[in-house]
Amino acid sequence: MPNQLATESSPYLLQHVDNPVDWSPWDDAAFERARAEDKPIFLSIGYSACHWCHVMAHESFEDPAIAAVLNRHFVSIKVDREERPDIDGIYMQAVVALTGQGGWPLSVFLTPAGVPFWGGTYFPPTAQQGLPSFRQVLDSLADAYETGREDVIDSAVRIAAILRAAAAPEPDAAGEPSHFLLNTARQRLVTAVDPENGGWGGAPKFPQPMALDFLLRYYHRTRDASALEVADSTLRHMAAGGIHDQLGGGFHRYTVDAIWLVPHFEKMLYDNSQLARVYLKAWQITGAGEHRRTAESILDFVARDMTAPDGGFYSTLDADTDGEEGLTYVWSATEIEEALGGDAAHFSHAYGVTPGGNFEGRSILHRTVPAEAVAEAAGLDLDESERRLAAARARLLELRSRRPQPGRDEKVITAWNGLMLAAFADAGRFLQRDDYLQVARRNADFLLSELVTPERRVFRTFKDGRARLNGYVEDYSHTVEGLLSLYEATFDEAYFVAARELADQMVAHFADPNGGFYETSDDHEELITRPHSLRDNATPSGGAVAATVLLRLASLTATSAYREGALAAVGRIATAIEPHPTAYAQWLVALEYHFSNAHEIAIIGDLESPATRALLDVVNRGLRPAQVLAAGPPVDITPVPLLRGRGTVGGAPTAYVCRDFVCDLPIVDPEALAARLNP
């Protein structure tokens, strides 16, 4: 018989609907039952693309004997961390405090009041490698709750105190942060980089798109060559590695090694959205075609495989195919030979395919040899070599599409959609790709019609025609960023209006009067703490993105309250940022914008006029991360303050370059505008 997850929409929860465990969703009824029956709660948190979540499910949650213990002694609650980042964040912090590490599946034991008293991550079915078996854990904790209740309560009280202390930082006595913070962060990132492979840390190795974004912005402001070198090298190594799907585009979550070769094969929308924008920025700075091609490969993958008919973006592709990790993606040398015939040796040389393979006897495709050397070895010129490799990739991708495919989590997460909306809008604008702009428009229209209420409140998720769950600060801030980027790409004022209205609701419901932003709104379900949104994780801190978009809005509207709120948020945690730049990189991005003294550019003219487009082409050329842009015909009334009161000169399209709404003399000549923007 299905358990109580049968009415849920989360694909992750529905994966567990036929478990013999009597799972409940996170709701009042589950806690009421725990209180009425005086049972502790077993809280299991994961997500649909999580490999070890699947492993523990098969080993333990499908085992009738283990299920019987859970059903007898516990009230079991299953949570999708992607739907409920607030619950995941609170209880992950508790497990880290208890054990020194965290991860998924997250296994936490709570009092009926929801206070954690013990926890961990994955537990095997039999004791191994220093881990107790899951059955041993259950038996021990059930006995502790029955016979050692006082110790359980003492543990819960201690952990609750830790969580409350961490929920909201004390205001930083230093006040408004100095630009020296940016210099220190740059130095730490440059010093700590892996000089051989790029990136930071050893195995497992994760992309750090927010840190890379900061370094590119820092280079733009300072022309510090080391910042660009670290970012450029890291991006090149990642694009050549197995973490990058060389056939289908897009990036996997991370690699289990330090050289970007063997990925954990899940693909997440949020990783790909951020990486697309970083590769686009790197192309804008360097002009390197490979960065542009990588950005386009990401966006083409998302448009093809991760976009719903209604315009929403799906969440994830699973790491496993038919229970085997990476099955869809890896190749044997024989398969390559059969597929490519006479081109097999050329392709295998380029992509590291060997008879012995590099992953369980098969090969993960990666670029092992410089393109010039591959061409020379094949006796081809570079263009012909790359043309043949592209044809081979297309052939293999077509063959791969006939294989069993990884599962796809088709719920729509508002925050992640906002991130990808910004990526498509920026790419459409800077690459002059109307197809990308169409994807962005459809997504924005979908979000505004299905996930944003007429009162500009935001839902978290959408699945099977139904929006649900109260939105978090990241849902607001990421959507605002996406809409602002789309406005600057299309100049459709409806997107600007929606962005500003959402930002105002974000400030009204999430801002802390002492500075910063809570993760949850003031009318959200009451949990054991109400944490601030501080650290970046796989996605940027919602609070840091809130600060970033408020700074952009301040530039577009001359509203000082937006800037003051943003700087108060950054200033509150400046001391925490300095020693840990990769954990707070989005805050560094916000500060980079602030200290770059953003240009405000208004272009007045018929948007269809070639003369107007010529001015816009100048503005959109190269990377200018500390710039806002508004454009439109001369009109008396507009919702965009930067356009107000500005007209053309002699009837010709005219550009205004301003700082703090104080503008230089109007410019009508594109070359003069280029000289002004690139002194």
Query: In terms of domains, do 475 and 571 share one?
Result: yes
Question: How far is residue 355's CA from residue 614's CA, in Å, rounded to a whole number?
Answer: 54
Query: In terms of domains, do 250 and 107 share one?
Result: no
599 class by beta-carbon count within 10 Å (0-12 exposed, 13-18 middle, 19+ buried): middle
Average pLDDT over residues 167-175: 66
Which residues have a Cβ under 8 Å from the Cβ of 137 and sit 6 or more positions away? 107, 120, 123
Question: How far is residue 328's CA from residue 402's CA, in Å, rounded to a whole number?
Answer: 10
Residue 417 resides in a domain: yes
Query: In terms of domains, do 419 and 290 share one?
Result: yes
Query: In terms of domains, do 413 and 474 share one?
Result: yes
Domain boundary among 127, 148, 167: 167
pLDDT band at 633 (very low <50, low <70, confident <90, very high): very high
User: Quick one: CA torsion of 300, 306, 311, 312, rounded to 10 degrees?
Assistant: -140
Query: In terms of domains, do 464 and 415 share one?
Result: yes
Question: How far is residue 593's CA from residue 602's CA, in Å, rounded to a whole number?
Answer: 18
Query: In terms of domains, do 444 and 591 share one?
Result: yes
* Residue 174 pLDDT greater than 70, yes or no: no
Tokens of 377: 């070895």
Query: In terms of domains, do 307 and 454 share one?
Result: yes
Q: For the chain, first and last CA: distance in Å?
A: 71
Domain interval for residue 23: 11-167
201-225 confidence digits (pLDDT tens): 999 999 999 999 999 999 999 999 9
Average pLDDT over residues 349-361: 96
pLDDT band at 122 (very low <50, low <70, confident <90, very high): very high
So what's the pLDDT on residue 527?
95
State whether residue 236 is helix, strand or coil: helix
Using alpha carbons, list the distances in angstroms from residue 56 to 71, 128, 256: 17, 14, 19
Average pLDDT over residues 386-402: 97
CATH of the domain at 114: 3.40.30.10
Q: Number of structural domains, the chain?
A: 4
Residue 189 resides in a domain: no
pLDDT band at 175 (very low <50, low <70, confident <90, very high): low
So what's the pLDDT on residue 173?
55
So what's the pLDDT on residue 578?
83
Query: In terms of domains, do 36 and 157 share one?
Result: yes
* Residue 452 pLDDT greater than 80, yes or no: yes
**Could you tell me where the beta strands, DSSP code E, fall in 485-548?**
none
Quickly list DSSP for 590-611.
Answer: HHHHHHTT-EEEEEES-TT-HH
* Residue 575 pLDDT greater than 90, yes or no: no
So what's the pLDDT on residue 226?
98
Average pLDDT over residues 43-55: 93
Residue 1 resides in a domain: no
User: Quick one: CA torsion of 264, 267, 270, 275, rounded to 10 degrees?
Assistant: 80
Using alpha carbons, list the distances in angstroms from residue 174 to 243, 429, 536, 571: 41, 39, 22, 7
Domain boundary among 346, 370, 403: 403
* Residue 277 pLDDT greater than 60, yes or no: yes
* Residue 247 pLDDT greater than 70, yes or no: yes
Query: Facing residues of 463 across strands?
Result: 466
So what's the pLDDT on residue 573?
84
Query: In terms of domains, do 441 and 553 share one?
Result: yes
Which residues have a Cβ under 8 Å from the Cβ of 399 and sit 6 or more positions away? 339
Share the mean pLDDT of the chain.
95
Letter string b/e over residues 314-324, b meaning 16 or more CB atoms within 10 A of that residue's CB: bbbbbbbbeee
* Residue 143 pLDDT greater than 80, yes or no: yes
Quickly list DSSP for 331-362.
Answer: B-HHHHHHHHGGGHHHHHHHHT--SS-SBTTB
Residue 183 resides in a domain: no
Query: In terms of domains, do 23 and 117 share one?
Result: yes
Query: In terms of domains, do 377 and 430 share one?
Result: no
Model pTM?
Answer: 0.95
Residue 188 resides in a domain: no
**Could you tell me where the beta strands, DSSP code E, fall in 56-153?**
75-80, 106-110, 116-120
85-117 confidence digits (pLDDT tens): 999 999 999 999 999 989 999 999 999 999 999
Q: What's the alpha-carbon Rg for the chain, to the nearest Å?
A: 26
Using alpha carbons, list the distances in angstroms from residue 114 to 101, 522, 598: 21, 20, 46
Question: How far is residue 273's CA from residue 443's CA, in Å, rounded to a whole number?
Answer: 13
Residue 32 resides in a domain: yes
Question: How far is residue 594's CA from residue 602's CA, in Å, rounded to a whole number?
Answer: 19
How distant is the alpha carbon of residue 528 from its chain centre?
Answer: 26
How distant is the alpha carbon of residue 636 from its chain centre?
Answer: 40
Amino acid at 421: L
So what's the pLDDT on residue 571?
87
Average pLDDT over residues 498-522: 97
Helix (H) or strand (E) holding 85: helix 85-99
**CB-CB contact of 540 with 584 (8 Å):** no
515-558 confidence digits (pLDDT tens): 999 999 999 999 999 999 988 989 999 999 999 999 999 999 99
Residue 194 resides in a domain: no
Q: With CA atoms as reference, report the closest residue to 527 among 516, 535, 518.
A: 518
* Residue 49 pLDDT greater than 90, yes or no: no
Which residues have a Cβ under 8 Å from the Cβ of 25 and sit 6 or more positions away? 4, 5, 8, 13, 77, 78, 79
pLDDT band at 1 (very low <50, low <70, confident <90, very high): low
Domain boundary among 580, 595, 610: 595
Residue 181 resides in a domain: no
Question: How far is residue 467's CA from residue 383's CA, in Å, rounded to a whole number?
Answer: 49
* Residue 589 pLDDT greater than 80, yes or no: yes
Query: In terms of domains, do 25 and 162 share one?
Result: yes
So what's the pLDDT on residue 15?
94
56-83 confidence digits (pLDDT tens): 999 999 999 999 999 999 999 999 999 9
